[in-house]
A and B are shown apart, each in its own frame.
Chain A
Amino acid sequence: MSEILFHHTQTAHCESGVISNLLGHHGLKISEPMAFGIGAGLFFGHLPFVKVNGVPGTTYRIWPGAIFQRVCDRLGVKMKVEKFSSVEKGMAALDQTLATGTPVGLLSSVYYLTYFPASYRFHFNAHNLVVYGKENGNYLVSDPVMDSITTIDPESLAQARFAKGFPAPKGKMYYPVSVPSSASLEKPIIEGIKQTCHYMLKIPIPMFGVDGIRFLAKRLKKYPEKLDDRRAVLYLGNIIRMQEEIGTGGAGFRFVYAAFLQEAAELLNKPELSKLATELTQIGDLWRTFAFAAGRVCKSRSASDDSYNELSQMLFRTAAAEEAFFRKLSKAI
């Protein structure tokens, strides 16, 4: 098997990280925040009816795969994407592609990735990583959220790629077949920003965008009367985890997006975007203050009306700040 030199860079988020690392390997250098921004990754959604282990889902980002799709479309990258009906076919196709000297992006379940600390291994099926070779029977892995390269045995990798559940990765693998050597980023940046503003401000469903934050704030206020102490604390804990656990870059992706706006300000020569980046940093700090207070409530384990009311008020203030921010951003572009 030919040896592939792959430059591993640790990133905050797996999807934008894999895009940045894979495109970089093919000579198109874009940073993680740039990939995240062009792919319009920032979002908010609260879905009380979509429960994971009995706890309502909250998301600070767009659905898995969307960033990837949009970046490729906007930059004119052609990807070969394959899914497989059997483990054997999926692993054989991976080996064949590696043999041609091509690093491969894979969709996988975190639960079977043996190189992660046990405490992070839940059934999360939308994790992205890059496999760039095979050595002594094990696969060489560049997982963007790990600080260095690592390896995994074929059996665990097969289980991770063919995990069941929702969404089932079905061995999905992808690699660029045609990458422009340089791309003008102006139009993709503007399209990405417009799309994010649209998603945050204009979806006429109360669960999404800045309205979604208010929707969560209203429901959060009622946790003490609707749920027992244990469930209230579990629901709250899950909001914190979605906001701060691996992959978010802090404050539910708000800081990654601010970093993107800073880069965009320079590329488009629009200093007002840099000012807006500073404003978003402050909003990110509001989210962090919320998480900190919520963590203390979780620790005290008591569902007092007062503490939940206070958290709810914090979310309303954050929603107002985000609404004002995205209105300014949509005008600035």
Chain B
Amino acid sequence: MQTAESGAGQPPLLEARGLSKRYGATQALDSLDLAIEPGEVYCLLGPNGAGKTTTINLFLGFVPPSGGQALVSGMDVSTHDRETKRRLAYIPEQVMLYRNLSGLENLEYFAALGGKGSLGRERLADILVEAGLERDAVDRRVSEYSKGMRQKVGIAIAMAKEADALLLDEPTSGLDPKASNEFSALIERLRNDGVAVLMATHDLFRAKETGTRVGIMRYGSLVTELGTDEIGHADLERVYLEHMHD
């Protein structure tokens, strides 16, 4: 668990300092310390209820913390809601869109809300295609889309925003292997562009493939942290299971 300053003296893009969240008697997150630098993909692993989604929700300001701070580029999410959200993109487990609108219309709307209203329809259509959507699907109603197609629109929304940091909550859940691989390639590209990524996932394989660091959570605490280049697939699974059985 590290709290780091980047080389140039800039604060980490995503940082948790003693971040805690309590729902009644349940401690959903307990004093999480975490720092993610540009170009890092940090994968949070853990069973349901471990605190992964809570961590992402705290960074998005969707829930107020019970203690500690969630910082984006050094700014506290609680006090700088708009500024931090301008720097963040978010892809939920299930990207839900306006069913009566096309993928392109949905992208136009969310991109404009994210401050990218100047992007023309042509450019947005290209982004949808870059995100993996077929060209002839961009003008079809979302009600005709599969889950994977909606997920690609979600990715396009994040890409169009050109955010500094990306928050992903089980983004490959329910995607077929091909779509998952395309997704991994996309994350790789974003990482190379200097985007900081925080991804909550159950998928150990995807975490090893995509991530640069992996944190294993249990009962709201980060129990261990590993660099993905330090460990193989089998070792990651073994370490994960060891912590789950403690």
Are A and B physically bound partners? no
B: residues with CB less than 8 A from A are none
